[in-house]
Amino acid sequence: MTGMLVAVGLTLLSFGVGTALSSLARKIAPRFGLVDKPGGRKAHLAPTPMAGGVAIWLTMIAMLGLGALALAIFRSSFPPELAVHVSGLWSRGPELLVILGLATVIMLMGLIDDRFGLHWLPRLLIQCGLATALVAYGVRMTLFWPFNSPILTGALTVLWIVGLTNAFNFLDNMDGLAASVGLIAALLFASAQVMVHSLFVPAVLLVMVGALAGFLVWNRPPARLFMGDAGSNFIGFMLGSLTVAGTFTRPGEGFSPYSVLSPLLVMAVPLYDTFSVIMIRIREGRSPFQADRRHFSHRLVERGLTAPQAVMTIDLVTLAGGLGALLLPYLWAFGTAVVLAQTACLLGVVAILEVATPPRRTTSPSTPIPSEHHDGQAKAAQPLPIDGYAGPA
């Protein structure tokens, strides 16, 4: 019970700090030119501050810093059921510092992209370099079969982190979408790891849940604050790193090794969005990095949903697909196959409905936006689609 109260208190305190810092970011952002102006495929009608990512980052830095200070000063005063975990939490401090340090670099890269614009190639190279640095430090996947070689696990770790970083950058295309999916993912990841008696990473994830909830106070439709590339890159990198650093199975204690597949279930929808939009762009003979209105959320709006309904649909599909991750620690080969098949069927139903329902618009949603500097925000004015919505940024 004490642990539950601490978890709730930690999340609520992070929510309060995140709400306050997001409010402050709205006021300060215009002074630094971090404003997303209307025009093109953007739906917002007034200039909108774009420093939400900095607020999310600062909330996590502040909360985790205060947590470390509390461990250092009051560790002898903790209740016995919490005191037994203090040394374990403290011993992983250096690992958390490395993850936060690298995530800070990627947040700053996104901030520069928000303000001045960066080509996709240097952004991708920086992402790969930071993920490789994390692997070199020792944070990497563990594969429970004979192919658990350092080269293979290192390459898969880099691919996973870079993939999630870009998946959340792709998701940042409607009010509340990237933040709400990130919140659901962080909550599911934390729950999945608590079930195998892990505490360190779940505590960090709960801080992220509170920070994202505080940001959503200002980002829910109609958004009064955007996270920008700084936020989407930071969220994706943190989730990718923390899922690798976290514990999803303890085979020696009777938990199934197949629970290492939990991240695939939780992140099924962001990965579906990324894979589908890249395939569409390649099929149409365009660069995978040239932004358009082909994302999962846009395709839902084309088929009659309002923007908030599209966001809610994606949130619910994310939750439905990810809930199976909570069962994996107790399932072996057959049960795991059933849960994976269930999530695959869910995405299959979504894909079939997309194909079977014709778009309402008569203009082409694939019209490129030449001066767009990343997938989330466009610089040049382009005609709005007939349905009147093309994402907040």
**Residue 48 in 3-state DSSP?**
strand
Amino acid occupying residue 244: V
Mean pLDDT across the stretch 299-315? 94
Is the predicted pLDDT of residue 370 greater than 50, yes or no? no
Mean pLDDT across the stretch 182-204? 95
Mean pLDDT across the stretch 242-252? 89
Is the predicted pLDDT of residue 52 greater than 50, yes or no? yes
Q: How confident is the model at residue 334 (pLDDT cuts 50, 70, 90)?
A: very high
Give residue 220's pLDDT.
92
Is the predicted pLDDT of residue 240 greater than 60, yes or no? yes
- Of 141 and 363, the structure prediction assigns the larger pLDDT to 141
Is the predicted pLDDT of residue 145 greater than 70, yes or no? no
User: How many Cβ atoms are within 10 Å of 227's Cβ, its own excluded?
Assistant: 35
> Among candidates 54, 48, 55, 181, which has minimal Cα distance to 107?
54
Is the predicted pLDDT of residue 393 greater than 50, yes or no? no
- Of 244 and 281, the structure prediction assigns the larger pLDDT to 244
> Among candidates 194, 174, 179, 190, which has minimal Cα distance to 302?
174
Mean pLDDT, the chain, integer: 87
The answer to whether the Cα torsion of 25, 31, 32, 34 is positive or negative is: positive
- Of 147 and 29, the structure prediction assigns the larger pLDDT to 29
Q: How far apart are CA 34 and CA 112, in angstroms?
A: 10
- Of 115 and 287, the structure prediction assigns the larger pLDDT to 115
Residues 6+ positions from 127 with CB-CB distance below 8 Å:
106, 161, 162, 165, 166, 233, 237
Residues 6+ positions from 22 with CB-CB distance below 8 Å:
52, 55, 56, 214, 215, 217, 218, 219, 225
Q: Are the CB atoms for 106 and 211 separated by under 8 Å?
A: no
Q: How far apart are CA 169 and CA 38, in angstroms?
A: 20
Q: How confident is the model at residue 39 (pLDDT cuts 50, 70, 90)?
A: low
Q: How far apart are CA 291 and CA 312, in angstroms?
A: 23
Q: How confident is the model at residue 142 (pLDDT cuts 50, 70, 90)?
A: confident
b vs e for 295-329, b when ≥16 Cβ sit within 10 Å of the residue's Cβ? bbbbbbbbbebebeebbebbbebbbebbbbbbbbb
Ramachandran angles phi, psi of 49, nearest 5°: -60, 150
Radius of gyration over every alpha carbon of the chain, rounded to an integer in angstroms: 21
Give residue 368's pLDDT.
42
pLDDT tens digit sequence for 203-229: 999 999 999 999 999 999 899 999 999
Residues β-bridged to residue 35: 49
Is the predicted pLDDT of residue 357 greater than 90, yes or no? no
* In the chain, % of residues over pLDDT 70: 89
Mean pLDDT across the stretch 122-142? 96
Give residue 89's pLDDT.
82
> Among candidates 231, 237, 267, 242, which has minimal Cα distance to 130?
237
Q: Note if the pTM is more than 0.85.
A: yes
Mean pLDDT across the stretch 174-189? 97
Give residue 239's pLDDT.
98
Q: How far apart are CA 22 and CA 219, in angstroms?
A: 9
Q: Are the CB atoms for 378 and 371 separated by under 8 Å?
A: yes
Mean pLDDT across the stretch 94-119? 96
Q: How far apart are CA 106 and CA 86, in angstroms?
A: 30
Q: Rounding to the nearest 10 degrees, give the CA dihedral for residues 61, 66, 71, 74.
A: 180
Q: Are the CB atoms for 338 and 267 separated by under 8 Å?
A: no
Give residue 369's pLDDT.
38
- Of 237 and 393, the structure prediction assigns the larger pLDDT to 237
b vs e for 58-89, b when ≥16 Cβ sit within 10 Å of the residue's Cβ? bbbbbbbeebeeeeeeeeeebeeeeeeeeeeb
Q: How far apart are CA 34 and CA 26, in angstroms?
A: 10
- Of 345 and 357, the structure prediction assigns the larger pLDDT to 345
Enumerate the domain spans of the chain: 2-256
pLDDT tens digit sequence for 372-388: 333 444 333 333 332 33
Give residue 389's pLDDT.
28
Ramachandran angles phi, psi of 36, nearest 5°: -95, 115
pLDDT tens digit sequence for 251-287: 778 899 899 999 999 999 999 999 999 998 898 888 8
